[in-house]
Chains A and B, each alone.
Chain A
Amino acid sequence: GQQVMQIPQYQHVQEGEDFTTYCNSSTTLSNIQWYKQRPGGHPVFLIQLVKSGEVKKQKRLTFQFGEAKKNSSLHITATQTTDVGTYFCAVRMDSSYKLIFGSGTRLLVRP
């Protein structure tokens, strides 16, 4: 079936270090959304990418959509303890109105 691979599963960083999570699909994507879930919380929408090669920034977060629209990344510069949580990508394949979630990357930040 349709799948999306998200890596790594866990990342433990020192505060101030950078962090990146990747989302990969074997199928061309229509768009991709990113969500953040704080411990004990619910997923919260961060951003949506639609265009090939698109790059969007939100303060220390940089989101990128691959040229082939098969992969995406979320990069956090100089992590802070407030960045702790699980980051999910959610993808929509062409000709589909269904979002498929990646398994998430759990980020832990050592103060």
Chain B
Amino acid sequence: EAQVTQNPRYLITVTGKKLTVTCSQNMNHEYMSWYRQDPGLGLRQIYYSMNVEVTDKGDVPEGYKVSRKEKRNFPLILESPSPNQTSLYFCASTEGPGGISPLHFGNGTRLTVT
């Protein structure tokens, strides 16, 4: 089954404790991205990757890092989480460049930073 798998689904952590949210897709998509969803703000892009070792900032990259060492994986790293990063996070992959092909989303990770 074609899917985007995110882990964990829920995460509660404390300020400053490094964390990683994993994302994996089995569709051989080149393009992957991370979004955060906050009430009234829709989905905002954090980072995206057009291929292995090619990543770029989205609209709200501050406080986040990503890596793309393999085509299927695109982890999101919070080196020093802060309470304003409490949010619902989605990983997505797509066949072609952003905005041309449909996005396939993971199930989401609800992060709480206290």
Apart from A31-B99, A98-B58, what are 14 other A-B pairs with CB-CB below 8 Å? A6-B42, A9-B40, A30-B99, A42-B90, A42-B107, A43-B43, A43-B90, A45-B102, A88-B42, A90-B99, A97-B97, A98-B98, A99-B103, A101-B35
**B12 interface residue per 8 A CB criterion:** no
With A42-B108, A43-B105 in contact, is A96–B99 under 8 Å at CB?
Answer: yes
Q: Contact: B100 with A92, CB < 8 Å? A: yes
Pick from B42, B90, B105: contact of A104, CB below 8 A: B42
**B81 interface residue per 8 A CB criterion:** no
Q: Contact: B99 with A103, CB < 8 Å? A: no
Bits for A4-45, please: 1 = Cβ < 8 Å to B, else 0. 001001000000000000000000001101010000011111
Across the A-B interface, the 10 shortest Cβ-Cβ residue pairs: A92-B99, A45-B102, A42-B105, A101-B42, A97-B97, A103-B42, A101-B43, A99-B99, A97-B98, A43-B105
Q: Contact: B100 with A43, CB < 8 Å? A: no
Residue of B nearest to A45 (CB): B102
**A48 interface residue per 8 A CB criterion:** yes
Q: Contact: A45 with B103, CB < 8 Å? A: yes
How far, in Å, is B86 (CB) from chain A's closest CB?
17
